[in-house]
Structure 1
Amino acid sequence: MTELAELPGYLIRRLQQLAVSMFVTTMGEAGFDLTPVQFAAMTVIGQEPGIDQATLASRIAYDRATIGGVIARLCQKGYVARAIKPENRRARVLSLTTSGEQVLAQVTPMVMSVQTEILGDLTDSESAQFLDLLRKLVAGR
Structure 2
Amino acid sequence: MIQYELEETAGFLIYRVGRLLRFKAAQFFRERNLEITPEQWVLLLQIAEKEQPLISDLVDKTANDHPNVTRLLKGLSNQGYVSRTVNPEDRRCQHVSVSEAGQALIDEILIDLISEKAVYFEGLDQNDVATLNRILKIVLGNLEGR
Q: Same fold (TM over 0.5)?
A: yes
Q: Give 2:118's aligned residue.
A: 116
Q: Give 1:29's aligned residue.
A: 31
Q: Give 1:19's aligned residue.
A: 21
**Structure 1 SS opposite 2:72:** helix
What is the CA-CA distance between 1:136 and the residue it aligns to?
1.7
- Percent sequence identity over aligned pairs: 22
User: Bigger CA drift: 16-25 or 55-64?
Assistant: 55-64
Task: Please tell me whether the aligned partners of residues 27 and 107 of structure 1 are also in contact (alpha carbons under 8 angstroms).
Answer: no
Separation in structure 2 between the aligned mates of residue 79 and residue 68 of structure 1, nearest angstrom:
14
| Alignment partner of 2:138 out of 126, 130, 136 | 136
Task: Please tell me whether the aligned partners of residues 23 and 114 of structure 1 are also in contact (alpha carbons under 8 angstroms).
Answer: no
AA paired with 2:43? A
What is the CA-CA distance between 1:54 and the residue it aligns to?
0.6
Separation in structure 1 between the aligned mates of residue 27 and residue 91 of structure 2, nearest angstrom:
39
Equivalent pairs counted in the alignment come to 141
AA paired with 1:16? G
1:56-135 maps to which residues of 2 (within 5 A)? 56-135=58-137
User: Bigger CA drift: 67-76 or 38-47?
Assistant: 38-47
What is the CA-CA distance between 1:15 and the residue it aligns to?
0.5
**Structure 1 SS opposite 2:29:** helix
AA paired with 2:83? A
Separation in structure 1 between the aligned mates of residue 94 and residue 73 of structure 2, nearest angstrom:
10
Separation in structure 2 between the aligned mates of residue 71 and residue 121 of structure 1, nearest angstrom:
37
**Structure 2 SS opposite 1:139:** helix
Separation in structure 2 between the aligned mates of residue 4 and residue 122 of structure 1, nearest angstrom:
24
Report the TM-score, using the length of structure 1 for normalisation: 0.89
Report the TM-score, using the length of structure 2 for normalisation: 0.86
Once superposed, which parts of structure 1, at least 4 consecutive aligned residues long, lie more than 3 Å away?
A: none
